[in-house]
Amino acid sequence: MTQRYADLAFDDRMARVDFRVATNAHIVVDTDVCRSCTTKACVHACPANLFVPTDDGGILFNYEQCFECGTCYLVCDGGNAISWSYPDGGQGVVFRHG
Ligand code: SF4
Ligand code: SF4
């Protein structure tokens, strides 16, 4: 019997995800802009917790294990703080079946 994706527990879903880290980051954050951002919306919105506030008011960002969901790009209050380009084929997040 085929198992429905919706019936899988979170850990089982994550076990079906590969992260193939591309050499070039598909998301680049201009952390100079982040320093004057008052909401830090990305910190709360990123489901992978990849935006980490620093003690000096800035942001530390790591593109590895990014789900490529685009949430940070949508909620960012900093104008052009986030630059986005999809990874090359075979890189980034890959969902495996079975
Ligand atoms: S695309 Fe999604 S997972 Fe990746 S950094 Fe942005 S919010 Fe986080
Ligand atoms: S919301 Fe945008 S500008 Fe603000 S901290 Fe996050 S990435 Fe930087």
According to the model, what pLDDT value does residue 81 have? Answer: 95
Residue 10: inside a domain, yes or no? no
- Tens-digit pLDDT profile for residues 11-52: 887 777 788 888 889 999 999 999 999 999 999 999 999 999
Quote the CA–CA distance of 31 and 53 in Å, as a whole number.
11
Give the CATH number, domain containing residue 71.
Answer: 3.30.70.20
Residue 9: inside a domain, yes or no? no
Residue 76: inside a domain, yes or no? yes
Residue 17: inside a domain, yes or no? no
41 C-alpha to center of ligand 1: Å? 12
> Is residue 49 within 6 Å of ligand 1 at its C-beta?
no
Quote the CA–CA distance of 72 and 3 in Å, as a whole number.
31
- Tens-digit pLDDT profile for residues 73-91: 999 987 789 999 988 888 8
Q: Which atom of ligand 2 is nearest to the CA of 42?
A: 6
Residue with tokens 């790009």, as numbered in its chain: 73
Is the separation of the CB atoms in 67 and 82 below 8 Å? Answer: no
Q: Which atom of ligand 1 is nearest to the CA of 42?
A: 7
> Is residue 30 within 6 Å of ligand 1 at its C-beta?
no
Name the residue range of residue 48's domain: 26-94
Residue 1: inside a domain, yes or no? no
Task: Answer whether residue 1 shows pLDDT above 80.
Answer: no
According to the model, what pLDDT value does residue 2 have? Answer: 63
Residue 79: inside a domain, yes or no? yes
- The total number of structural domains in the chain stands at 1
According to the model, what pLDDT value does residue 20 have? Answer: 87
72 C-alpha to center of ligand 2: Å? 8
